Structure 1
């Protein structure tokens, strides 16, 4: 298949492109031309301005793609600018668990229905992140009902290549001896590995189903379990203080995403505990090397 990827030069986007290439697809990555990649001659490249519909029509609008994988659709205007400018057979949008207003363990897809959400044409700055992602999904499914489209809802994505450093924050503060102010140490949180997120998106690109779908590694973990592991491995005790640095995941209550829909369609997620401790080991080595 001819696949166009927007947002394929870093984090799970790179894993998506690698997976598509390994499956034998003809991949084009569309970027602003500012980020380098290591794909060599394995991909074609197009420089675009994502929010400029004229730019989109003059570049990707000249071609037909079997699938478009869009990792950078943040709002309804993003969706409209893109889908009004190109022709494709299938559109896979990376969405977020943030679309769910009442997150809890095993949150299912039917707990946010984009077809009934009040659609507002908006830019990324108009609302908080959760609402602009809801608007992106609402625009997709309400305005383009004939398009074979999927919204892939992901929890926190983590990995060695996680530029947000949200999980690394806890490891770094423990090793550096910095006090932390944490308000949810016992909450159970769901994650997905960045490599698996990319593989899942590539798998979705090859399927025929439409609508929202959750992706989540099997199982959850608490910050206490994470901190206990780091303390055990480093022999350094975490310091807690109301005056300390605010935790990256502060305010997050226990939650994970129900993956029955993906499982029933044939995708098998790995268990969280098979890789997260190895990731923490790498974070520990990274923090020690930075001292």
Structure 2
């Protein structure tokens, strides 16, 4: 696995290890790997360093948690060319960011076709700020490059917004803190629904995808959508506080407040053999977790 040191990536490492897989984690070494896991230290952007760290190792499957640009995808395609038969790229709902519509239907995988999406390696992908500001496009181009150039099978898991677990983004905590303290949450005038997934479930799905044989993109999301009003209401029920919603007046909108529909169609996931839970099954739990 490339990455896997935090949030659901670390849980994925544990899922695979608990299932009896011999897991190797490659990262820059900032976080130690769980006990029993082989830990290799390398900067994935440095092709020579990555090759040296891997040595002559071969893998049944590679799961890439931290590929954010076509440059990183190109390095992976070259380095793992003779080392694996299968590559699972963890992607994101953000590949659909510019395609979503205020009243659109749930997005299917063919809305972004990696076999046809243009790739521009001349853009400043090595610049951290540029990459962060073009996160969705970086993922689209990484998908496209691997799909078209990699000499191994490629599966792309487009992950919905992840809630629960050791979430370093602080997005859910933002809501819990403001609502518990009686502070307003800034929302769009007509917030639209989005898809979400529970951290343990996306880890299970990625572990399942590693052992599966499908290729191409697949949406990964729990059943049932949620807009920011529904999220705030759930937090309010847990905290015993009535949320104060402030329609945006020039302030930045709160995370998960969207003016376009971010719902994902998970029909393909069901067809290839995986059925997700419903948001209602786990939302109260993650709200309680976020309260600490």
Q: 2:175 aligns with which of 170, 176, 190?
A: 170
User: Which residue is equivalent to 2:99?
Assistant: 102
User: Which residue is equivalent to 2:88?
Assistant: 92
Q: Is the 8 A contact 2:157 2:220 kept in 1?
A: yes
User: Which residue is equivalent to 2:204?
Assistant: 199
Q: Is the 8 A contact 2:162 2:198 kept in 1?
A: yes
CA–CA distance in 1 between the matches of 2:234 and 2:63?
37
Q: Is the 8 A contact 1:180 1:240 kept in 2?
A: yes
Q: Is the 8 A contact 1:96 1:155 kept in 2?
A: yes
SS in 2 for 1:8: coil
Give the root-mean-square deviation of aligned CA atoms: 1.9
TM-score by length of 1: 0.89
CA–CA distance in 2 between the matches of 1:147 and 1:160?
32
CA–CA distance in 1 between the matches of 2:43 and 2:237?
48
User: Which residue is equivalent to 1:248?
Assistant: 255
CA–CA distance in 2 between the matches of 1:56 and 1:166?
33
CA–CA distance in 2 between the matches of 1:193 and 1:137?
23
1:87-236, aligned counterparts within 5 Å?
Answer: 87-100=83-96, 101-103=98-100, 104-121=104-121, 122=123, 123=125, 125=127, 126=130, 128-144=134-150, 146-183=151-188, 186-236=191-241
1:71 deviates by: 0.3
More strand by share: 1
TM-score by length of 2: 0.89
Q: Which is worse superposed, 115-124 or 229-238?
A: 229-238
Q: Which is worse superposed, 149-158 or 125-134?
A: 125-134
1:86-106 deviations in Å (ceiling 9; x for gaps)? 321111100111112322442
CA 1:240/1:264 → structure 2, altered by over 3 Å: closer, same or farther?
A: closer
CA–CA distance in 2 between the matches of 1:233 and 1:54?
51
SS in 1 for 2:23: strand
Structure 2: runs of 5+ lacking an equivalent: none
User: Which residue is equivalent to 2:272?
Assistant: 265
CA–CA distance in 2 between the matches of 1:63 and 1:109?
33
1:61 deviates by: 4.8
Aligned residues: 278
CA–CA distance in 2 between the matches of 1:73 and 1:184?
35
1:119 deviates by: 1.3
